[in-house]
Amino acid sequence: MATSKVLAGAQVVLPTGTVQNGRVIVTDDGRIAGSAPAEAETIDLTGHWLVPGFVDIHNHGGGGASFTSGTADDILHGVHTHRLHGSTTVVASTVTTDMDALAQRAGLLSELAEQGDIAGVHFEGPFISPCRKGAHSEALLRDPDPAEVRKLIDAARGQARMVTLATELPGGLDSVRLLAEHGVIAAIGHTDATYEQTTAAIDAGATVATHLYNAMPGLGHRTPGPIAALLEDERITVELINDGTHLHPASFQLAFHHAGADRVALITDAMDAAGFGDGTYHLGPLEVEVKDGVARLAEGGSIAGSTLTLDRAFERSVTVDGLPVEDVVAAISANPAKLLGMYDRVGSLEPGKDADVVVLDAGFKLKGVLRKGEWVIEP
């Protein structure tokens, strides 16, 4: 059982975007409080940072376990692996497979979402472009028929959070409209769209760019393509994978500064090897080789997700890219929580919210994780 505690003496990042030396008070029911009960335990965290628990909206697995093919216990193990790295809220992402198998997977994942173990389901594929398939089986790709999109939404029983689409394909815009009508995020990704096709999708209701830059045409000076459209439109939140492999630091910083801290969501796009190690894995039906922490398809060598955890993304964003701590907190906690419609519960250290807290040392290395008032890692 959680006990009341006061995390004292640390630098605290407030939801206003300011930083102050202060404390976070946790009640025995696992929430953040405005004042401390008399019996609360005081934990001295002088020299540390206290930031909200991380919210990962794009994650395929970890700890050797797959969200795309594993059992319920496998999925829970993968979720726990990411909690150990500060991700107190995780959306489980699928990959391309046949529609019946995806519907079955959605049913299993929705049960875990209903229990509160995950924050919902993200369908990445099969409605993506064969030109930009990345680590998806081309034989199983299909156009985004709204009826089939609806089938997956229904299979998730109210737990579908996001669907990644190549919106230029036949049925793409109608599918975006369908998703918007049902309160599901339409994300533009694995796309070969032009600038004009991308702006049409945004006008239809798309609100997220799936791992910006990756699996889409590059930015051109005469053919700006989707990247320019996604960066310039204030209705779009851009996902960025800051692992040093998916993006050059200059590209990461260009996107972050152009979109602004309020329009970036740092994600992992993690697969089974995250928090586990090198070796041979499977992402859907495709074999993946992980070497030196980089995941690539065994056939063809395309990058196949990542082995990133969000504590590493946080540390890199501050120490390598030089971003302000409060901007990284917005991108790794508040913004994704708002996208999911969960900001009333998670994403900032405000009284009344879940006590999801990450403790970082002065060099931004993870030292402790609190989820709903219970220590996952005790500092």
Own/partner contacts of 319-322, CB < 8 Å, gap of 24 or more, are 319/363, 319/364, 320/244, 320/249, 321/242, 321/249, 321/252, 321/253, 321/256
281 vs 271: CA distance, rounded Å: 9
Cβ pair 57, 122 in contact under 8 A = yes
Catalytic residue numbers? 269
**Residue 138 per-residue DSSP state:** G
- What tokens appear for 176 in the block? 């975006």
Task: Tell how many helices (H) and how many strands (E) occur in the chain.
Answer: 10, 21
Burial class of 68 by CB neighbour count within 10 A (0 to 12, 13 to 18, 19+): buried
